[in-house]
Structure 1
Amino acid sequence: MRDTAPAAPTAVNWRKSSHSGEGDGNECVEVANSPTHVAVRDSKAPARAALTFPTPAFARFLARLKES
Structure 2
Amino acid sequence: MGLAPFPGGLRRERSVAAKSTGWWAEGSVEDPADINGGLLRAIELVKAGKPALIDTTRNTAEIYEWLNY
TM-score bin, normalised by smaller chain: under 0.3
- Normalized per residue, the structure richer in strand is 1
Which is higher, the Rg of structure 1 or of structure 2? 2
